[in-house]
Amino acid sequence: MAQKLDKVDVVVVGSGWAGGIIAAELAKAGRKVAVLERGKDQKRSDFIGVKDELRYSYRHEMMEKINGETITSRVSIDDVALPVRLLNEVNTGTGLGGGSMHWAGSVYRWRPYDFEIRSKTVERYGESKIPEGMTIQDWGITYDELEPYYAKWELMAGISGEPDPLGDNRSIDYPNPPMTASPAIKLFKEAAKELGLHPYQMASANMSQQYTNPDGETLNQCMFCAFCTMYGCDFGAKADPLQTVIPTAVKTGNCDIMTNALVRRVLHENGKATGVLFTDTKTGQEFELPADVVVLGAFTFSNNRLLLLSEIGKPYDPKTRTGVIGRNFTGQFNSTFLGATGFFEEKKFNYYLGAGGLGGALSDYDADQFDHSDLDFIHGGGIELRQYGDGAIKNNFVPNGTPTWGEEFKEKSLHYAYRTLTVWYSAAVMPWWHNYLSLDPTYTDEYGDPLIRVTNKLTEQDKNIAKFGIEKCTEIMEAMGADIIDQDELPDQFDHSYSGMHYIGGVTMGEDPEISAVNNYSQMWDMDNLFVVGGSSFPHFSSHHPTPTIAALAYRAAEGVEKFLTEGGQLVEPKKVNA
């Protein structure tokens, strides 16, 4: 029998950027907050001196182990889904700070077009531009409404950057100057300018200088050690929850954090959430934690699964195309993250120095920045040359056609070790009626609960936008002077790999409860004291990484939770809009 704990004002599930921001803001406001993190406790000192590519990049030290729980995957709604069993094919973060601990640190605001994508597409091109079966929708919030929350996060996280020349309205400058451009990035920018494009130094959550944020938390200057993506930063030079919002929340004395706490149900009665049921994964003991407000701030898969297991909201049914929970699943798959790799004979680059957010970028082909009238896709993508810092094990580029072993392979591996650069196109991914999340009818986790099932099929939209991006990346690589250029190949169909870590949807935001699960405060239409925060609320995936938008919406959700605790009721009036 579950042991009942003392009631709190707010229980937050997950301790990444979404959950961490909620906890910090409400604890600062004097609310009693409990944060439940399924993974282990960890602190900054755990990462000091750990520069182990085999342990982190290949054995996935910071990722959730999938022997007790994973996802199942299929392409079509009539297929039988099978569990994903390889760690390199499903990466979801775990531990205090969540997936936000091992993120790279690249920072992009999404475009005004994104938040009103359906109405703006129809306004410019007409209804016929949207293909049959594509389920894009407006978010119920505009860029201008969200902009102050973007700004608040950038100040808190100490973002280093310079404005995009083709960017949108900003109320503040970035709090830190941009990262130093390396020779490779300079070459990219020069080539892009020669083509009439508008490159700039991408914004980064890696610090260009030491910085103290408005909450009094200090972040240190980046050392360009190159161990960002898949790693925790041992210098405290990458903005993450463990360096910022988590200590801010704890210092108030109003926030308790419980790790190894797997939330298995949202408890509810008479249309109200009453708390959560969780299991201590070390002891197996079950606990019931009552709360006035429940906030789900976990990863997309977990937020959707918890709602479905708790029987909250109407599950999406692809056959009738009704219901909302699980609808509009998308993400940044390998098939939408393609470009061109150049091999140079005369130029050499120290590509083993780097940082997760060190790079050059351009947005000329992003969103609706360019005319799509004669193109067979909508939206676009951002182009980058990123200097992550190549690991000696993971990166071993040779031109296409080179044998994968033997004398020629060794010779070319050594020759091109410092002579290889990649430019890629990060394409937006649109939602479709046949791509969704549901509970698997066959497979369960170690506690007997159904796994989350992913149904995802590549479409002509996906292939067409990727082909466009590869062509643009190739043009830039040619202008950079590469002697050999290898283009990424378009896949025939989805390969069941979820290694990109950026997956969204299923609890989508909008104005119409018929096609959305939460309003623009991330408050559930069906349960007003339940808020669902994170990428799960995004109706589609834009052209760049989702972290800043997750964070901005988390700040707005925190404001909404406080408003609800004071006033009660639905914070936004629902509307009926076109599906």
- To which residue do tokens 């988590």 refer? 246
pLDDT of residue 578: 54
**For residues 365-378, average pLDDT:** 97
Q: What percent of the chain has pLDDT over 90?
A: 87
* CA geometry: angle 513, 516, 520, nearest 5 deg: 95
Question: Residue 348 class from Cβ within 10 Å (0-12 exposed, 13-18 middle, 19+ buried)?
Answer: exposed
Q: How confident is the model at residue 572 (pLDDT cuts 50, 70, 90)?
A: very high
**For residues 264-271, average pLDDT:** 98
- To which residue do tokens 């950026």 refer? 502
pLDDT tens digits for range 511-547: 999 999 999 999 999 999 999 999 999 999 999 999 9
Pairing of β 33-36 and β 8-13: parallel
Pairing of β 530-532 and β 286-296: parallel
Distances in Å between the Cα of 505 and the Cα atoms of 243, 249, 330, 365, 542 are 28, 28, 6, 24, 12
pLDDT of residue 483 exceeding 80: yes
pLDDT of residue 252 exceeding 80: yes
- To which residue do tokens 């108030």 refer? 252
Contact in structure between 136 and 430 (CB atoms under 8 Å):
yes
DSSP result, 393-453: TT-----TT--SSSHHHHHHHHHTTTSEEEEEEEE-B--BTT-EEEEEEEEE-TTSPEEEE
What is the crossing angle of helices 17-28 and 547-567, to 10°? 40
**For residues 70-78, average pLDDT:** 96
Question: Residue 573 class from Cβ within 10 Å (0-12 exposed, 13-18 middle, 19+ buried)?
Answer: exposed
| Cα gap 284→447, rounded to integer Å | 10
pLDDT of residue 174: 98
Rg (CA), the chain: 23
Q: Look at residue 3 and give its three-state secondary structure.
A: strand
pLDDT tens digits for range 407-458: 999 999 999 999 999 999 999 999 999 999 999 999 999 999 999 999 999 9
pLDDT tens digits for range 484-520: 999 999 888 988 888 777 999 999 999 999 999 999 9
- Strands laid side by side in the 381-386 sheet: 200-201, 359-362, 381-386, 420-427, 337-343, 484-487
Could you report how far apart the first and last alpha carbons of the chain are, in Å? 44
Q: Which residues contact 417 (CB under 8 A, 6 or more apart)?
A: 396
Mean of all residue pLDDT scores within the chain: 95
Residue by residue, what is the 3-state secondary structure of 240-257? CCCCCHHHHHHHCCCEEE
Q: What percent of the chain has pLDDT over 70?
A: 99
Residue 509 pairs in a beta bridge with 518
**For residues 396-412, average pLDDT:** 93
pLDDT of residue 282: 96
| Cα gap 531→564, rounded to integer Å | 10
**For residues 321-348, average pLDDT:** 92
| Cα gap 464→445, rounded to integer Å | 37
pLDDT tens digits for range 176-208: 999 999 999 999 999 999 999 999 999 999 999
- To which residue do tokens 């960890």 refer? 42
Question: Residue 160 class from Cβ within 10 Å (0-12 exposed, 13-18 middle, 19+ buried)?
Answer: buried
pLDDT of residue 390: 83
pLDDT tens digits for range 81-93: 999 998 888 888 8
| Cα gap 191→183, rounded to integer Å | 12
102 catalytic, yes or no?
no
Contact in structure between 263 and 14 (CB atoms under 8 Å):
no
Q: How confident is the model at residue 263 (pLDDT cuts 50, 70, 90)?
A: very high
pLDDT of residue 273 exceeding 90: yes
| Cα gap 501→243, rounded to integer Å | 21
pLDDT tens digits for range 148-159: 999 999 999 999
Contact in structure between 308 and 326 (CB atoms under 8 Å):
yes
N residues, the chain = 579
| Cα gap 15→250, rounded to integer Å | 12
- Helix, strand, coil tally for the chain in percent (to 5): 25, 25, 50
Q: How confident is the model at residue 577 (pLDDT cuts 50, 70, 90)?
A: low
Set 496, 502, 540, 545: catalytic member: 502
| Cα gap 491→351, rounded to integer Å | 28
Give me 122's structure tokens: 């129809």
What is the crossing angle of helices 460-480 and 183-194, to 10°? 100
Question: Residue 396 class from Cβ within 10 Å (0-12 exposed, 13-18 middle, 19+ buried)?
Answer: middle
